[in-house]
Amino acid sequence: MQRSRRAFGFTMIEMAVTMTIFAILVALGVPAMTTWIRNNKVRTVSDSLQTGLRLAQAESLRRSRQVVFALTNSTTPTVIPLPAVAGGTSWAIWTLPSMAGETPQFIESGVLSNASSQVTMNTTVSTVCFNSVGRLVNNASANVTAITGGDSCQQPTGTPPVQTFRISVPGADRPLQINLSLGGQVHMCDPGVPISAAHPEGCP
């Protein structure tokens, strides 16, 4: 008995159907992936900002002296003093001189975003000063060369008194906000959700 031989493989119709289904799945997945990437940029910048603020407060307590946190667009944030810019692309921390003849001491700097990330920060704050017990204080001489779009170390006002930094990216569906209270506490929250027992991630 002779068995029929069959060629194994894909026909042109099967290949066309497979490629069509694949193209549909890619078209459905690309917008979700793009949104995820943008949301991840928001989270990365928010985490870096939160880390910098907490570090500045911790250093003020550890050194028992006033410490400055400043946003800047400077490409050399280790050079103190530097220009402070509200919504800058990086941050820097340094100590303020406590006596005549003393020079400010650079502590650390970090990157928030670059020109290609499309991240925007909505804030009127350019510099923040923590005193020796980690609280926000006023200081008109924070050792910066210039200030753009913000005040020099002003205590927050309002009820409750907080400094706010809202981070977003065009096309992202999860903007984030960093709240810095008068006592120096840093809290990241979702500005699109009112805070409650069911939603502790929300903003006040």
Q: Is the pTM of this model over 0.85?
A: no
Higher pLDDT, 106 or 13: 106
- Within a domain: residue 38? yes
CATH code where residue 53 lies:
3.55.40.10
Number of domains in the chain: 1
Round to whole Å and give the CA distance between 52 and 197. Answer: 28
User: Is 84 among the domain residues?
Assistant: yes
- Whole-number Cα distances in Å, 5 to 2, 8, 13, 31: 9, 10, 21, 46
Q: Please report whether residue 6 resides in a domain.
A: no
**Cβ contacts of 132 within 8 Å, gap of 6 or more:** 60, 61, 63, 64, 65, 66
Q: Is residue 58 part of a domain?
A: yes
Whether the predicted pLDDT of 6 surpasses 60: no
Instruction: Tell me whether residue 2 is in a domain.
Output: no
Peptide bond into 160 cis (omega under 30): yes
Asked if the structure places residue 110 within a domain, the reply is yes
Q: Does the pLDDT of residue 2 top 70, yes or no?
A: no
Give the model's pLDDT for residue 179: 96
Residue pair 152/124 in contact by the 8 Å Cβ criterion: no
The answer to whether residue 187 scores a pLDDT higher than 90 is yes
Check if the beta carbon of residue 56 is closer than 8 Å to that of residue 130.
yes
What local confidence, expressed as pLDDT, does residue 128 receive? 94
Q: Is 4 contained in some domain?
A: no
Give the structural domain span for 124: 13-203
Domain assignment of residue 5, yes or no = no
